[in-house]
Structure 1
Amino acid sequence: MKKYKFKLLSILLVMVGCDGFLDEKPSKSLVVPQTLAELQGLLDNTNFLMNDSPALIFNGTDDFWTTDQGFQSFNSIPNQNSYVWQEEIFDTPQSSDWVISYRQVFYANLVLEEAMEMDPITDAEQKERDELIGRALFMRAKAFFDLAGQFAPVYQKENASDFLGVVIRTNPKITEKQERTSLQETYDQILGDLNEAVGLLPETVVIPTRPTQTAGQALLARVYLSMSDYEMANQWAKASLESGAELLDFNEVMPSGNFSFAPFNKETLYYSVMNGQLFHYSNLTFVDQELFDSYDSLDLRKKLFYRKPNESAMGYVFRGSFSGDYPLFSGLSTGELYLILAETETRLGRTAEGLGYLNELLEKRYKVGEFQPWRGLDESEALNLVFEERRKELAFRGLRWNDLRRLNLEPALAKTLKRTVNEVEYSMPPNSPRYVFPIPQDELQLNGLEPNIR
């Protein structure tokens, strides 16, 4: 296998002088990769936050609330501003959510470009290179999808070509200025990357910080659901289950200390966490009371997901992250697949089949022998049930923001969010332009990007 040229080193050094999304520069001491294993190391490097997801979109959801004192203790102005849906979010020219996602795009592009130039000698090397390319495509697609869910409008097929998406970079030459693509072009890129990735990703990996074919299929299902393409979401969710996704029986979960789940449990299809969201573990920030009350007393999630920090606490705090620790899990799980299938089967007119998937999930969430399967509901009743269970199962996963965005498009499901801080009431109406985050100031000034209307 041929050695690398020194152009990679020059690319990394050029990055040090670039403005915009890589203001937090990668290290100049980064060793020039010489092998596929070293390229793999770029994607494994947690210092680059390669398995992190956007965090600020979580703040604006109805998953939790905080006291006035808790609001003051939030560890940044953007956390406070996003919590009360302010028109301006950022207090600096950049956004960590933007920077982290585009850093992931950069390293994925770097790996893709360099891997393509390698000349495998053996079948084993060819397989390793293909899997590496598949992984880089997956990570690039996920980064673009994360960006679109925060900095672009919700996808609607009839007008996706009329709205702006995000900047699509497909090579590591970050000195080249690029404009935002249309929303349609953004999603075309995401889907194109993922479809190619699925054909290259391995069936198994050592740990789920690396994606498998099953994870690629699950991410396609998530993306298509966000686009309201229920047929394709259904197909890919089924493909992921058929590839080996398994449910975790919550009756077998033994909580340890303040946390309930072990990291990398068998339901984790791909591991990622929200970047820097730790304030919600304080004794001043609690799960939304309406959400907490929606769990049945026989539902194991009620105790596995939440605990009361002390007797005088005003509510319950979250303890159910699949990270097994403080960071909030934002990855892909089997439970999410069952909920996608329950929703899409029902929306496609197969209500009994949809309830079948929901029942199969809930049987693993209730105490043994206590769950009574749902039957005989009409489509509207079944959908409402699915949305309620999706809300309960995927709480604190970073998915609620995009669920609110897509469901607000349906008048019967639209919801106005309200909060009171320091005796001031704030609200977020359905389909508000504030569901799309502002483009960071650096990107507007240095790269000439068109701003979002807030």
Structure 2
Amino acid sequence: MSCKKFLDTKSNQTLTTPSTVADLQMLLDTWYSINQRDANSPLISADEYYLTTEDWLTLEEYERNTFTWQPANLFVPGTGNDWANNYNIIYNANTVLQEIEKIKPVKQAEWNNAKGHALFLRGKSFFQLLTIFSPAYDEATAANDLGICLRLSPDFNIPSVRSTVKQSFDQAINDLQQSIPLLPLKPIHPLRPSKAAAYGYLARAYLYMRQYEKAGLYADSALAIQNTLIDYNSPVPGYFDPNTDFPFSRFNPEVIYSCGTGSPSSVYYGYTDTVLIKSYDENDWRRTLYFAGPQIGSFKGSYEGTEDLFDGIAADECFLIRAESLARANKKEEALNDLNHLLLNRYKSGTFSPVTAITATEALNIILMERRKELFLRGLRWQDIKRLNKEGANITLKRTVNSKEYSLPPNDFRYALPIPEDVIKITGIPQNPR
């Protein structure tokens, strides 16, 4: 056998190039690597919990350094991390996008769904990388700020380069928008995306970019398709049972797209921010349905239905995005209508008095606080701190561990986490300012 024929021979089935739509769809349906590997560094970096020195010292170096916002060498070389996990998803998506164009559709809906799924995942992953490894979006500087590597092909031989933040967001937004006409209105399964899911991620992305009108419009589009809220007063067999260790099932009716991350060790040891805990009214079901005790390890409110943490798209987030958008547009009553609709489903029956506000600014502040309470440990607080500090919120994060105080002032360069050092060494791309 000639060398060329030998190299062209597929030695086993695992090396076979996907040749059907079903093959390609399988690359996108690997639950653990696609739906369960979202980022956890934003959880560790934000201000939703604190650690004692004793517990902090038990953590691996990566978590200790991330928790205290160390400027460099956070990620252990050669390990799964928030950079590597997202680019693995992007690689699978690029493989599908390349190969599917070679396949003539037999069932157009299945072909469309696979391509739309790949575009959705690539856009979602680009966006997540931007929220972690790039500075907060600022229209005035986005054309110059360092963005991410826009890998648009599965070819490893194409050099990696860092695009600007603007170029990177343009690509992420475009991918999500291009997925919409290809995806079904509602998901075939909550682990797969739909039009509603793409609208939801676009709403989240535009909120982070502080383009609030667009965020509200996309949230509205998602809610036009899927707007179910669980009434926390009423058990839903198979989906919501307040008498179990984890009251909410993974695929409960609020979930538009299901994905999450394994809980970092610091979550098990951490204690919930005391100011946040005290902000829940005694008649607010979230106080008991989310928390079994003061330690974060006792958090039971994840929409994953387990100790894993949900960070996908759900109707409650979309209501809050639309409410914030309306408040910022000075549409106070409409904003409060959305908020009160959500809270009516969270308070004990007969105890809820609708929230009122004299001004749109007052309504906005209430909505932002309810956002913290409703979306606890969904990986969104880090994004919110970054964008709100660009609005002048002046949020300074502080930790005290091992007799040392650490702080992260507004708009500090450390809000863009360092890219793993092995990636810098292999690719030669510039590191974030340190």
1:49 to 1:316, Cα distance in 2 relative to 1, 3 A: closer
**Which residue of structure 2 aligns with residue 341 of structure 1?**
322
**Which residue of structure 2 aligns with residue 203 of structure 1?**
185
Distance (whole Å) between structure 2 residues aligned to residue 45 and residue 376 of structure 1: 47
Distance (whole Å) between structure 2 residues aligned to residue 356 and residue 240 of structure 1: 17
Aligned: 1:453 with 2:433: yes
The CA deviation string for residues 23-46 of structure 1, in whole angstroms up to 9 with x for no partner, is xxxx99354323211211111113
Q: 1:356 aligns with which of 325, 329, 337?
A: 337
Q: 2:258 aligns with which of 265, 271, 274?
A: 271
**Which residue of structure 2 aligns with residue 415 of structure 1?**
395
8 Å CA contact retained: 1:287, 1:316 = no
SS at match of 1:265: coil
Q: What are structure 2's unaligned runs of at least 5 residues?
A: 235-239
**Which residue of structure 1 aligns with residue 377 of structure 2?**
396
When the two chains are superposed, the root-mean-square deviation of aligned CA atoms in Å is 2.1
Q: 1:97 aligns with which of 73, 82, 90?
A: 82
8 Å CA contact retained: 2:97, 2:115 = yes
**Which residue of structure 1 aligns with residue 72 of structure 2?**
88
8 Å CA contact retained: 2:262, 2:307 = no
Distance (whole Å) between structure 1 residues aligned to residue 281 and residue 231 of structure 2: 17
Q: 2:303 aligns with which of 318, 322, 326?
A: 322
SS at match of 1:250: coil
Q: Which amino acid aligns with 2:353?
A: Q
Distance (whole Å) between structure 1 residues aligned to residue 118 and residue 295 of structure 2: 45
Q: 1:175 aligns with which of 157, 160, 165?
A: 157
Aligned: 1:426 with 2:413: no
Give the drift of 1:65. Answer: 1.2
SS at match of 1:173: coil
SS at match of 1:299: coil
Give the drift of 1:47. Answer: 4.7
Q: Which amino acid aligns with 1:433?
A: F
Give the drift of 1:249. Answer: 1.3
Structure 1 stretches of 4+ moved >6 Å = 313-316
Question: 1:189-200 maps to which residues of 2 (within 5 A)?
Answer: 189-200=171-182
Give the drift of 1:91. Answer: 5.2
Q: Greater shift after overlay, 33-42 or 163-172? A: 33-42
Give the drift of 1:55. Answer: 0.7
SS at match of 1:181: strand
Distance (whole Å) between structure 2 residues aligned to residue 192 and residue 378 of structure 1: 36
Distance (whole Å) between structure 2 residues aligned to residue 174 and residue 276 of structure 1: 31
Q: Which amino acid aligns with 1:182?
A: T
SS at match of 1:204: coil
Q: What are structure 1's unaligned runs of at least 5 residues?
A: 1-5, 14-26
SS at match of 1:162: coil
Give the drift of 1:146. Answer: 0.7
Question: 1:54-453 maps to which residues of 2 (within 5 A)?
Answer: 54-74=39-59, 76-90=60-74, 92-94=76-78, 96-121=81-106, 125-252=107-234, 253-275=240-262, 277-281=264-268, 284-308=269-293, 317-411=298-392, 413-453=393-433
Q: Which amino acid aligns with 2:406?
A: Y
Distance (whole Å) between structure 2 residues aligned to residue 146 and residue 133 of structure 1: 20
Distance (whole Å) between structure 1 residues aligned to residue 271 and residue 264 of structure 2: 14
8 Å CA contact retained: 1:217, 1:239 = yes
Q: TM-score, normalization: structure 2?
A: 0.92
1:418 to 1:233, Cα distance in 2 relative to 1, 3 A: same
8 Å CA contact retained: 1:286, 1:317 = no
Give the drift of 1:223. Answer: 0.5
The CA deviation string for residues 143-187 of structure 1, in whole angstroms up to 9 with x for no partner, is 001100000111111221011100001111122112100100000
Q: Greater shift after overlay, 342-351 or 89-98? A: 89-98
1:215 to 1:225, Cα distance in 2 relative to 1, 3 A: same
1:450 to 1:315, Cα distance in 2 relative to 1, 3 A: closer
**Which residue of structure 1 aligns with residue 237 of structure 2?**
none
Give the drift of 1:50. Answer: 4.4
Count how many residue pairs are aligned between Structure 1 and Structure 2: 422
Q: Which amino acid aligns with 1:300?
A: W
Distance (whole Å) between structure 1 residues aligned to residue 227 and residue 101 of structure 2: 31
Distance (whole Å) between structure 2 residues aligned to residue 83 and residue 359 of structure 1: 35
8 Å CA contact retained: 1:142, 1:190 = yes
8 Å CA contact retained: 1:274, 1:398 = no
